[in-house]
Amino acid sequence: MTAPDQDLLNLVLVRNPLDLHAVLARINTILECRGALLMTCMPGSSMLQVAASHPGSPEADRALRLPVGYGVIGLVAANNQGALLEHDSPRDPVHRRVLGLSDGESVARLCVPVTGLPGSVIGVLSLHRPDHRPFVDADVVALRPIACALGLRIEMERLSEQALEPFAAGRPDRPGDLRPGG
């Protein structure tokens, strides 16, 4: 991927609601990956959880939790620096199930931080494919703006939900809200 793909940009920036599985599927197609994993920071915690994966295993996705700073994904989240690995074999058995790896199998991986508000890492986008086709620096450069746009979109969705919570609960937090009797 040399320039941002228009369909991918539309999925990340325009499509409503945001469909993370469609975003990951498009990235898989563009970069000819075997799979993609988006892990996001759990609110109020230093743990990462699976937000979406493609092709995905819902059972394994629900089970995978990684501490920030642990393993490649955790280090990318902690350091806000991408990582390229030519021959990687994650130690965590649940992580291996999410990636669809058998015992002893290794893959090439590309991990980039997903950033929200300036300086804030909200997650990690991790791609993998057979290790005989390693990722290159140009893949990192091409994927970084997509990861940033995705992070901003995720943050926007979270902030919108928080802003609308008082209205959904029927209790405006400010005087003068535009509601009957407000």
Quick one: which of 138, 71, 76 has its CA closest to 99? 71
- What residues have CB less than 8 Å from 81, skipping those under 6 apart? 75, 113
Do 114 and 151 contact (CB within 8 A), yes or no? Answer: yes
pTM: 0.86
pLDDT in tens, 139-169: 998 899 999 999 999 998 888 877 777 776 6
Average pLDDT over residues 122-138: 95
The CATH number assigned to the domain holding 13 equals 3.30.450.40
Kindly report, residue by residue over 50-80, the tens digit of the pLDDT: 999 998 888 888 999 999 999 999 999 999 9
Q: What is the pLDDT of residue 52?
A: 94
Decide if 84 is inside a domain.
yes
Residue 55 phi, psi (nearest 5): -70, -30
In the structure, what pLDDT confidence band is assigned to residue 36 with cuts at 50, 70 and 90?
very high
130 assigned to some structural domain = yes
* Structural domain containing residue 18: 6-149
State pLDDT tens for residues 85-128. Answer: 999 998 888 888 888 888 889 999 999 999 988 779 999 999 99
Three-state SS at 2: coil
Mean pLDDT is lowest, of 22-31, 76-85, 163-172, for 163-172
Tokens of 50: 């699976």
Please report whether residue 61 resides in a domain.
yes
Q: Is residue 139 part of a domain?
A: yes
* Residue 158 within any structural domain of the chain: no
Domains in the chain, number: 1
User: Does residue 169 lie in a domain region?
Assistant: no
Please report whether residue 72 resides in a domain.
Answer: yes
77 located within any domain: yes
